[in-house]
Every structure is written in C-alpha cells, then in structure tokens.
C-alpha cells in the first residue's frame, strides 16, 4: 500500500518523501507545482494536478492502493495571506476539503496534517502548549485552524483519524545536499541571510529591534526539516497503531533572536553578513517557542539535528551548491 503525500514537491513535503522512501514506504505524490519543484521529488510516483480536480484525484486514488495521506499542500506565507486572504482560504481550506471528500469517498481514514504555530497568535505564555489559546493574527493561521476544526468534525462523522502537527520555524536541508529550501519569493529569515554570502543581496534586514527580548529582536524556535520529517513518520505510525486523533507542537523548545541567527550564520559561512535594522514587520509576535513535550513523551520523538549551527550548516551546504535553487 502507498502513502499519498499532497504537496510533496514543496520544502517540507519533499524532505518527508525522501525520509518515507528511506524507510521503505511506497509513496505517491500529488503537487500542482505552484510553489513546489518537480526537481525536489527524488523518488516516488509524482502526479501533477490540483486537489479539487475531481477526475484527476479519482485517477490518483484508482491507480494506487492508498493507505493514508500526509497533507502539506498549502500556501504558507503570513504576510502574503494578509494581502490575499481569499487565495489562502481557497487553497488551504477548500483544497483540504476536496481532499477529505475524496478520502471519504475512497474509504481512507488516516491523515497527517501540516498545521502551524501561527494558529496561536500572540502567545499567552512561553513555551506554548497544545491546549493554549488559539487566536490567529493572520489569515494563514486562520486557514490552518479552520482545517484543524474541520478534521475534528470529520473524525466524529466519518471516522477519519488525524494527527495535526503544529510546526514552529522550519529550516535546514537534507544531509545529502540534494534537496533544500527554494521559495519564490523567499521571505524566511535563514535563506534570506544566506543570500548575502551567496552574493544575491548585499545585506539582511532585521525587522525591528525594539521588542521586549534580550537584544530587542524577535525570538523564534527553529527546527530542522529532517527532524520534522521524522515526526511525520512517527505520526503516521501512531495512526496505524492506535487509530486515534491528536495534535502535537513541533519545535526545539529553545528560542533564538534574529541577531543570534545572523551571528551563527556568520560563523558557519565565514562571511561578515551585513545587517540593517528596519521597522517591525506587521503581525510578528515578539516570541514563539514551542513546548514539544507531548510528542517527545507520546511518540518518543527526539530531535537529532537541533543545534542552530547544524540547521544553518545544512541549509548553507545546499544553497552554496545550488545558488539558483532548483532552477538550472
């Protein structure tokens, strides 16, 4: 039987596909390649199309014996979501609704879903736990929370069991250096910092240094994409084993300021990396740090690549060998 990975040509999806294949799983990938790259799919059977194209999805489900679904297919940029909320609702909520309808039609009752720390909004306390208040401050977070709620009702009505994984700040790249992070446009801190030593920009901009943190810049919890991929496989195996729904946070439990991230990147790359301070970016909470205690306890998940050095080293290894990302 196969695992259907929706959005498997994207950054996190492609790393999870690789990890599934490494562990002997059969993998079928669906991606419309709007933000994904077919070069990121190193193995598995790739279908290019949309989750809401009913005939296309019938073909995928009929041609393969699908056991479970891992769903990464979504738009994921906070600032873009504020400008284009309807695109986010359409792609993230309606897209997953179409997928769930097909799962119901074909009797598939297991899904691992990509959720986000953005569903918490401004946290009440740090580290953030799964049952803390969810009050998103942007449409991206709202769409992910809407799907989490949809999943809860689909479990009750149709018996579709889910694990929702709420990611904090994902970065890094596969250790083999074959795949990495290539967003267009790029808005994430670590790949933007690395564009300076690559010669693609002359400086990195720090969005605000007047936050109530130790050096005034925002604190985030960075997690290696490989550790995240491992968590998806553990979530899948949990569904296989006990067939119950749940939600887990995924971070390292340690926060780094923007300035600290830039400093580590200077060390890793040996480049001075010029930075300038600008205005705050709208909607950025001062501090987001996860408690991942629940997944550590229940699924024995242990992040293996949890130092910021390793996260940035593996990202740098990919970027310096692929200065144009997946474009040749």
Binding site for ligand UFG (CB under 6 A): 76, 78, 116-118, 168-169, 187-189, 192, 204-207, 218, 220, 258, 281, 284, 288
Minimum CB–partner distance for residue 193 and ligand UFG (Å): 8
SS (H, E, C) 280-318: CCCCCCCEECECCHHHHHHHCCCCCCCCHHHHHHHHHHH
Q: Does residue 263 contact residue 275 with C-beta atoms inside 8 Å?
A: no
Give the residue with the Cβ less far from ligand UFG, 175 or 286: 286
Residue nearest to ligand UFG (CB): 218
In the complex, the smallest distance separating the C-beta of residue 258 from ligand UFG, rounded to whole angstroms, is: 4
Q: How far is the CB of 235 from ligand UFG (least distance, A)?
A: 18
Task: Tell me the closest approach of the beta carbon of residue 141 to ligand UFG, in angstroms.
Answer: 7
When the beta carbons of 46 and 262 are compared against ligand UFG, the nearer one is 262
Give the nearer residue to ligand UFG in terms of CB position, either 35 or 76.
76
Q: Considering the candidates 47, 88, 120, 140, report the single residue annotated as catalytic.
A: 140
Q: Round to whole Å and give the CA distance between 113 and 89.
A: 16
Tokens 């940029």: give the residue: 77
Please state, in angstroms and rounded to a whole number, the distance separating the CA atoms of residues 242 and 78: 34
Peptide bond into 185 cis (omega under 30): yes
**Count of alpha carbons within 13 angstroms of residue 114, beta-carbon side:** 26
In the complex, what is the shortest distance from the CB of residue 172 to ligand UFG, in angstroms, rounded to a whole number? 13
Listed residue (219, 188, 189, 209) closest to 286, CA to CA: 219
Residue 170 has phi, psi (to 5 degrees) of: -90, 135
45, 27 in Cβ contact below 8 A? yes
Euclidean distance between CA atoms 173 and 230, whole angstroms: 13
The reply to whether 162 belongs to the active site is: no
Residue (89 or 207) nearer to ligand UFG, CB = 207
- Specify the residue, 66 or 194, whose C-beta has the smaller distance to ligand UFG: 194
DSSP conformation class of 176: T
Q: Which residues are catalytic?
A: 140
């Amino acid at each position: 039987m196969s695992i259907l990975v929706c959005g498997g040509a994207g950054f996190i999806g492609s790393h999870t596909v690789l990890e599934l294949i490494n562990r002997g799983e059969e993998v079928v990938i669906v991606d419309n390649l709007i933000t994904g790259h077919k070069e990121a799919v190193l193995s598995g059977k790739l279908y290019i199309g949309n989750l809401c194209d009913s005939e296309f999805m019938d073909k995928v489900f009929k041609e393969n014996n699908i056991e479970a679904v891992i769903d990464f297919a979504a738009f994921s940029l906070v600032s873009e979501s504020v400008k284009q909320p309807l695109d986010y609702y359409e792609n993230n909520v309606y897209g997953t609704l179409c997928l769930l309808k097909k799962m119901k039609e074909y009797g598939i009752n297991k899904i691992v879903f990509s959720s986000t720390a953005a569903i918490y909004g401004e946290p009440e306390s740090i580290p953030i736990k799964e049952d803390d208040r969810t009050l998103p401050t942007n449409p991206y977070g709202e769409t992910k929370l809407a799907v989490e709620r949809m999943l809860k009702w689909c479990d009750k009505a149709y018996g579709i069991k889910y694990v929702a994984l709420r990611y904090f700040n994902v970065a890094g790249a596969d250790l083999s250096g074959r795949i990495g992070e290539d967003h267009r446009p790029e808005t994430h801190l670590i790949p933007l910092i690395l564009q300076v030593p690559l010669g693609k920009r002359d400086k990195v901009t720090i969005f605000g240094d007047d936050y109530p943190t130790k050096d005034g810049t925002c604190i985030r919890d960075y997690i290696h994409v490989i550790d995240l991929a491992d968590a998806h496989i553990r979530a899948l195996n949990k569904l296989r084993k006990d067939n119950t729904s749940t939600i887990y946070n995924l971070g390292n439990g340690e926060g780094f300021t923007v300035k600290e991230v830039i400093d580590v990147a200077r060390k890793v790359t040996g480049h001075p990396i010029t930075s300038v301070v600008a205005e705050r970016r709208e909607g950025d909470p001062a501090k987001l740090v996860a408690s991942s205690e629940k997944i550590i306890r229940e699924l024995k998940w242990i992040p293996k690549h949890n130092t910021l050095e390793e996260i940035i080293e593996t990202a740098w290894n990919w970027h310096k060998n692929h200065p144009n990302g997946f474009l040749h």
